Amino acid sequence: MNKNQTYSIAVGSAFGTSIGTSIGAITGTVAMGTVYGSVIGLIVGVILALVIFKEEKEE
């Protein structure tokens, strides 16, 4: 786990949480929106981390 991977997971989580909060505000269930957002964010972050890891390995 390098700095870039940790950073991308953090960014992904923040991104997902903000999306989730927006979804929650629209649907009226902020708590569930935040939960969904955190999950989405974690997935996005892990994907970003894998992409970065793959690119760094190729160099």
Whole-angstrom Cα Rg for the chain: 13
Q: What is the pTM of this model?
A: 0.51
Task: Provide the pLDDT for residue 59.
Answer: 63
pLDDT given at position 32: 73
For the chain of 59 residues, list the mean pLDDT of each consecutive stretch of 10.
71 74 74 74 78 72
In three state form, how does the secondary structure of the chain look? CCHHHHHHHHHHHHHHHHHHHHHHHHHCCHHHHHHHHHHHHHHHHHHHHHHHHHHHHHC
Look at residue 1 in the predicted model and tell me its pLDDT: 56
